[in-house]
Structure 1
Amino acid sequence: MSFDLTPDQRRHLLSELLPQLEDYYAHTRKLRVAPHLDPETVRAAARDFDFSTPVEPATAVRVVLDNLRKFQVHVPHPMYYGLYNPRASFPSILADMIAAYFNPQLAAWSHSPFAAEVERYLVSAYGTRFGFPGELTDGTFTSGGAEANLTAVCCAINHRFSDYSRRGFRAFGGDPVVYCSDQAHHSVVKAARTVGLGLDAVAEIAADEQLRMSVPKLRQRIVADREAGKIPVLVVATAGTTGTAAIDRLAEIADVCREYDVWLHVDAAFGGAAVLNDEYRDWLHGIERADSISTDIHKWLSVPMGTGMFLTRHPAIMEKSFGTAAAYMPREGKEYKPVDPYSHTLQWSRRFLGLRWYLSLLVFGWEGYADTIRHHVELGRYLRKRLKKRGWTIENDTPLPVVCFSRSGLSDPGAYAHGICARIVASGEAWLSIYPVRGVDVLRAGITNYATTRADVDRLVELLERIREEMDAAPGPGYAGTT
C-alpha cells in the first residue's frame, strides 16, 4: 500500500468528511453538552484497532468522528458555560486546514517568510492595542498562557541578571522572588519550578475583598524581602483570573514595580481581549505600563485551542533570553537581517498558529471582534440579573462575563453547589463548573461562545431552577439544604 492516497481517494474523503464536519458545526446544540463518562468504554473505543492491518481511509475517518461526537465535552455548544474554551470561528478552522496542507516551518524566517511576517505583524498590531510602542513591540505566538508565562519568567530573570544566560543560577547573588496573587494561574508556580527557581521563590500575595491582589500587601512583602537580602525579580498581575475573572489594580501595581525596579508581567490570558472594544479599555488601565503581557487568542477570540501570545515592550530581551546559533539552520536570506523565530523563543519547530487569528481578522476585522466581545459582556450582565431575580447570590465582582453564584441560607453551600453542578452536567443540557470563592465552593458560569444567546441564558437559569426544586423536594445522601 502506498503511503500516499490517490487524488481520487483524497477527493472522496473530503467529499464525505466536509458535510459531516459542517453538520457538527451547524447543529452542535442538538448534542449532549457532556458525555456519559465510562472510562472502560472510552478506552475500548480508542483501542478498538491494533494497527496490524490497515483500515479503509473512509472507515478510519468515520471512527474518529463518531467517537469524538460520543466522548467529548462539546465546548462549541452554546450551553457550554465553562473554562474559556470558545467556539472557533469558521475562518480560524479553515486556517488550521490551510496550515496543515502547507505545513510551514516557522523556526527559520527564510523557510516561510510570509508566515513569519504575519505573526510579527499581529504581535505589533495587538501590542499597539495594549498601549505598547508599536513596531518596538516584540513577542511570539505560544501554545497558550502557560508557555507565555514561562517566557515572561525567563525574560524577567535575564533582564534582572545580565549573566544569567551563561551562568544560570550562579548569576543570582541572592534569592530571587516572584510575586503573584493567590488567585493567579498555577502556571506561574510551574514556570518558577521549571526554570529552577523552585516553589519557595514564589510569594503568593493575599487577595482583597474583590479577589484582586492586595497592593499594600505586595508592597509590604517586597520591602520585607529586600531587607532580608532577597531579590524581587518579577510581579505577575492578572487581568481576568481563571476562577472569578477578577482584574488586579494594574496601575497601582505598576507604580510599585517602578518604585522597586521590578519587572511587571500581566497575565491577561482571558481579560486582555477587552482592549479590542473601546468601551472596556479602562478595565485594563495600567496594562500599557507592563514589561510583558500574556494573552490567549483561544480564550476569548474564537480560534482553536493552542493559540497564545507573549508580548513585551523590550525588543532585545527575547534574543537575550533565547538567542542561539545552530550550524544546521538555514542561512539563506541573512542579508535581509530577518528575525529567525527559533532564535528568540522557547520553541524551535512550530506550527503557523497566527494564521488562525489573521484569517479571522481579515474576514471580520477589529470591529467584528469588538461587537462579539460586547455581546459576551452584555450576556454576562443579563445572566447576573436573571440569577439575582431568582434568588441566587452573585459571589464575584468583575465586569467580565464570568459569574460565580450560590444561594444564601444553606447549611453546607459547597455540597449544595456540587449537587447542582453534578446534576446539570449529567443532564447533558449544559455545562457549569465549581470554583472556591473565599474558601467556599460556588457555581461558576463563563460566557465566551459567540453563538450563545439570551434564550440560552434563559434556558440555563430555568435548568438551575428545575434542578434546585428537585433537590429541595428529594434531597439525596449528603445533601445540605437550607437552614
Structure 2
Amino acid sequence: MRSHLLNDTTAELYRSSVSEGVERVAAKLATTTRPFTGVTPDALAPTIDAVDLDRPLHDTIAVLDELEDVYLRDAVYFHHPRYLAHLNCPVVIPAVLGEAILSAVNSSLDTWDQSAGGTLIERKLIDWTAGRIGLGPAADGVFTSGGSQSNLQALLLARQEAKPGPGGWEGTADLAKLRIFASEVSHFSVKKSATLLGLDAKAVVSVPVDKDKRMQTVALAAELERCREDGLVPMAVVATAGTTDFGSIDPLPEIAELCAQYSTWMHVDAAYGCGLLVSPKNRDRLTGIERADSVTVDYHKSFFQPVSSSAVLVRDGATLRHATYHAEYLNPRRTVAERIPNQVDKSLQTTRRFDALKLWMTLRVMGADGIGNLFDEVCDLAREGWELLAADPRFDVVVEPSLSTLVYRYIPAAVTDPAEIDRANLYARKALFASGDAVVAGTKVGERQYLKFTLLNPETTLADISAVLDLIAGHAEQYLGESLDRAS
C-alpha cells in the first residue's frame, strides 16, 4: 500500500513509527538485567511458527507488540556487561544514528549517480584508514560486508598478482601451483576463500604457532623455501592481527621481511586488532602492518560499530582492477575516462549499503581517540582478568592477552580424567547460557575443551569477570557431583 512508502506525504508516519520503535528498544536497553533469557529453540519456535505472514496486522503498534514476543524479549543483548562470548561489541550512539539515516535514505554505494556524497564520504574514510595503517599514497580500498568478504577479496587480488607462468597465467592448471600460508589459528575464511577461488585442497599451508599462539616465522621461512624448491608459487601469506580465539598478533615485521624475500603478497587480517589503529597507547602492537599489500579491518568489532561495517585496504590501488567489471547499464567503460567515481569498480558487491556513514558519524562526534580509549579499556580489563585467572587455582589460562580475549579451563583438583574435565567445561557453558546470567564462548586448545571471554564492552568490570568465573565453577562442580552420583 502506498501509505507505507517513505516519501514527502508519509514523513509524519515515518517519524511516529520510528519514534515508537526507538522507545521500545530504549526501554528494553534500560531494563535488561541479563544478557539472555535462556529461552531454548524448542520453546521459542512455536511462537514464531504461529505467525501467519499472509495475514498482516495493518498496525505498527500491534506489530511492535508482537515483536516483543518473537524477538526483543529473547534477543541476546551485547550491551550487557556479562555478555562475554564472541566478537560482538556494544555499539556507540552516533553509529546507531548513522544507521537510522542510511536506512531511510537508502543510498546504494555502487555508482556515483546513486550515492553522490556517500561515495566521497566512503572514499575519505578509506583514505583515513589507509593513512592510519601507513600504506602510502597509492593506497585504496572499499567497504565490505565483513571480514570474510574482505579476506576473500584480498586473496583474489593476491591470486591475480601471483602470475605463476613465465608469461603470466597459463590456464587453470596453474591454480594447483598456488599456496597460501596462514597460522594454524587463523580465521576459517582463509580456507573458505581458497576454495571459492578454485585453488587446490592443499593450497592453504598451516604454519605452527608458538606458545603465545603467534605464527612461528622460522616455520614460515621453511615452508616458503620448500614451496619454491617444489616448483610451487607462494601466492600469499596471511598474517593475523588478532586471532579469533586468542587475540594473538603474528610477528608482522618478520613476516613482512619474508614476504619481501619470496616476492609474496602479504595480507594482514586485522578484523579484530584494527582497533589498535586508533589506540592512544597500544598502536605499536601493529608495527609492521604498514608493509602489508592488503589489510582487513572490521569496524563492527573493535570500533564499536553496528554490523555490518568492514573494509579491505590495499597498498596499490591499481590491484583493485582485478575486481572490476563494466556493464553498460551501470558503470560503462567511458565513465573511467570521465573520472566518475563508481565504487562498484572496486567491489565484489554491486548493490551495497552506505555503511561508511556510521563510522563517519562516530568520528565526527567522538573522534578517533574516543574510539581508541574504549578499546584500550577492554584490553586493560583483559590484562586484569588474566592476572585474576592466573592466580585462581580453579582455572588454567592459556596465554597472556595481546588484545581482549581470555581462553581458560576449569580444572577441578579432585578429577584427573581430561575427558571428564572437558565434559564439565562444556556443561558449565551450556548451563550458564541456559540460566541467562552470562554468555561465554567455547573453543578447543589441542584436543581439550576450553572456555573463552571475548571482552569488548568497556562497561564490563573485573567484578563481573570474577562473578562469572564463580558461576562457571559452580555449574562445573554440579555436573561433576551428579556424575559421581551416577557412577556410584
CA contact (8 A) 2:274 2:299 kept: no
Tell me the secondary structure at the aligned position of residue 439 of structure 2: coil
List per-residue Cα deviations over 1:147-184 (Å, max 9, x = no partner).
000001111011122999x9795383761111111101
What is the CA-CA distance between 1:363 and the residue it aligns to? 0.6
Q: What TM-score results when the alignment is normalised by the length of structure 1?
A: 0.91
Q: Which runs of 5+ in 1 are unaligned?
A: none
Q: Distance in 2 between matches of 1:17 and 1:419?
A: 37
1:11-160 maps to which residues of 2 (within 5 A)?
A: 11-28=15-32, 30-39=33-42, 41-42=44-45, 44-133=47-136, 135-160=137-162
Find the counterpart in structure 2 of residue 189 from structure 1: 191
Find the counterpart in structure 1 of residue 466 from structure 2: 461
Which amino acid letter does the alignment assign opposite residue 409 of structure 2? S
CA contact (8 A) 1:33 1:77 kept: no
CA contact (8 A) 1:415 1:479 kept: no
> What is the count of residue pairs matched by the alignment?
473
Tell me the secondary structure at the aligned position of residue 480 of structure 2: coil
Q: Cα distance 1:4–1:382, how it changes in 2: closer, same or farther (>3 A)?
A: same
What is the CA-CA distance between 1:232 and the residue it aligns to? 0.9
Mapped pair 1:221 → 2:226: no
Q: Distance in 1 between matches of 2:65 and 2:50?
A: 15
CA contact (8 A) 1:35 1:73 kept: no
Which amino acid letter does the alignment assign opposite residue 453 of structure 1? T
CA contact (8 A) 1:246 1:397 kept: no
1:302-341 maps to which residues of 2 (within 5 A)?
A: 302-319=304-321, 321-329=322-330, 337-341=339-343
Q: Cα distance 1:24–1:199, how it changes in 2: closer, same or farther (>3 A)?
A: farther
Tell me the secondary structure at the aligned position of residue 313 of structure 2: strand
Q: Distance in 1 between matches of 2:244 and 2:479?
A: 34
Q: Cα distance 1:283–1:439, how it changes in 2: closer, same or farther (>3 A)?
A: farther
Find the counterpart in structure 2 of residue 447 from structure 1: 455
| Identical counterparts, % of pairs | 26
1:191-206 maps to which residues of 2 (within 5 A)?
A: 191-206=193-208
Tell me the secondary structure at the aligned position of residue 196 of structure 1: coil
Which amino acid letter does the alignment assign opposite residue 234 of structure 1? A
Which amino acid letter does the alignment assign opposite residue 22 of structure 2? L
Find the counterpart in structure 2 of residue 394 from structure 1: 397
Q: Cα distance 1:102–1:216, how it changes in 2: closer, same or farther (>3 A)?
A: same
Find the counterpart in structure 2 of residue 421 from structure 1: 429
Which amino acid letter does the alignment assign opposite residue 419 of structure 1? Y
1:237-248 maps to which residues of 2 (within 5 A)?
A: 237-248=239-250
Q: Distance in 2 between matches of 1:169 and 1:23?
A: 60
Q: Cα distance 1:406–1:54, how it changes in 2: closer, same or farther (>3 A)?
A: closer
Q: Distance in 2 between matches of 1:390 and 1:173?
A: 51
Q: Cα distance 1:50–1:316, how it changes in 2: closer, same or farther (>3 A)?
A: same
CA contact (8 A) 2:130 2:313 kept: yes
Tell me the secondary structure at the aligned position of residue 202 of structure 2: helix
Q: Distance in 2 between matches of 1:140 and 1:263?
A: 19
Find the counterpart in structure 2 of residue 4 from structure 1: 4
Find the counterpart in structure 2 of residue 475 from structure 1: 480
List per-residue Cα deviations over 1:403-447 (Å, max 9, x = no partner).
111244552232232122122212211110111123322111011
Q: What TM-score results when the alignment is normalised by the length of structure 2?
A: 0.90
Q: Distance in 2 between matches of 1:132 and 1:284?
A: 13
